[in-house]
Amino acid sequence: MFTWTPWSAIVKRMKESRQRETAFSFYGPLSLVFLIVAWAAALVIGFSLMFYGLGSPFTDSLGGAAGLRTDLYVSGTTLFTLGLGDVVPRSALTRELIILEAGTGLGFVAVVIGYFPVLYGAFSRREVSISLLDARAGSPPTAVELLRRHSFEGGDNALTLLLEEWERWAAELMESHISYPLLCYFRSQHTNQSWLSALTAILDACSLLIAGVQGHPARQAQLTFAMARHALVDLSQVFSQPPVTNGKDRLPTERFDVLYKMLCQSGVRVCRDEGSMVRLKQMRGLYEGYAEAMSEYLCMTLPPWVAERPHKDNWQTVAKLRAQAEEASDGNPVAITPGLPLDSSVMAGIDEHHDF
């Protein structure tokens, strides 16, 4: 944590966004390696100082009087279980300390061997759900897109199941990332994705469902919102980040009107009363300050409520192809020119945004 502030200050000076994001992504793995090295160095230096405090009671095969340098050598070879035997202890207490350090070294190796799989497993489970959200809420994920893509027949049930999964995801995120805060610095491998943006998008969607959308998922939205907010608040406290109170408004009035217009056009039943924006603002006040604080600290961009740059998505391509298949099954085959794309206007830009 102490090295993040200077690292982020240097990386922020980079002008190109991709290079900047790549540099940020190096911090997590490098800090993990540095942490292991720091643990080993602390153990070696700690035991060597104990030897030095006993008067460096060693007989060195190189000759000459033993000193701190010899103590460091003995401590290092003992901790890493080399046991070269070219330096011999001359007191019973020193022998006992060497046995203790050798046992500590074995335990240290075991901890390191077990530490990496635990971290990778937690990181992998986190990223799988974030990647799945790409097809359901866009890239970057937005609350409007999530609801819009679930406006089909039976979409309420699908959305309820999705929110149940993200309630569990938020609980797992809270437990794993509080236990291993280093995971918060590990960034997603795809553009426009991060654990913070995914968590914020889910909170946005839950807020919208609670405050202004009619339907069955509202009950599950309350449960998911509670767990997701709990995770966000606890993580911000781990990093001692107070909520931002004067941040930029993520949903001004004009964007709010666009949001409701898009939902209505998609067939989502919305509560367009005078208090809908007030209720939504109250919901946003419960978590947006913490999200802004973590965004500023980790240099992760928060998702918009409505996509800033509308683009053709892969999921639209798949939906159009499915519509053509259904039309053909009804006895109205669609003419397709061999060797040409099925719909070049829709197919353009596929995979550019990691969107389905």
* Residue 64 belongs to domain with CATH number: 1.10.287.70
Do 218 and 95 lie in one domain? The reply is no
The span from the CA of 204 to the CA of 286, in Å, is 11
Q: What is the pTM (predicted TM-score) of this model?
A: 0.82
Q: What number of H helices and E strands is found in the chain?
A: 13, 2
| SS3 at position 270 | strand
Q: What is the pLDDT of residue 243?
A: 95
User: Does some domain include residue 335?
Assistant: no
Q: 276-284 and 253-265 helices cross at what angle (nearest 10)?
A: 110
Neighbours of 239 (CB within 10 A): 14
Do 143 and 269 lie in one domain? The reply is yes
Do 89 and 225 lie in one domain? The reply is no
Percent composition of the chain: helix, strand, coil (DSSP 3-state, to 5):
65, 0, 35
Q: What is the pLDDT of residue 84?
A: 76
Q: Give the pairing type, strands 87-89 and 58-60.
A: antiparallel
Do 184 and 107 lie in one domain? The reply is no
Asked whether 291 and 302 are in contact (CB, 8 A), the reply is: yes
Q: What is the pLDDT of residue 341?
A: 46
Q: What is the pLDDT of residue 218?
A: 84
Q: Is 225 exposed, middle or buried (0-12, 13-18, 19+ CB in 10 A)?
A: buried
**Number of separate domains in the chain:** 2
Regions of the chain where pLDDT drops below 70: 1, 272, 309-323, 326, 329-356
Do 223 and 86 lie in one domain? The reply is no
Q: What is the pLDDT of residue 337?
A: 46
Do 52 and 150 lie in one domain? The reply is no
Do 150 and 258 lie in one domain? The reply is yes
The three-point CA angle 252-149-231 to 5° equals 65
Do 143 and 96 lie in one domain? The reply is no
Do 289 and 142 lie in one domain? The reply is yes
Residues in the chain: 356
User: Does some domain include residue 291?
Assistant: yes
User: Does some domain include residue 126?
Assistant: no
Residue 250's domain comprises 138-298
Do 150 and 278 lie in one domain? The reply is yes
The three-point CA angle 261-264-267 to 5° equals 155
Query: pLDDT tens-digit profile of 34-76?
Result: 999 999 999 999 999 999 999 989 888 877 778 899 999 999 9
Do 179 and 213 lie in one domain? The reply is yes
Do 144 and 271 lie in one domain? The reply is yes
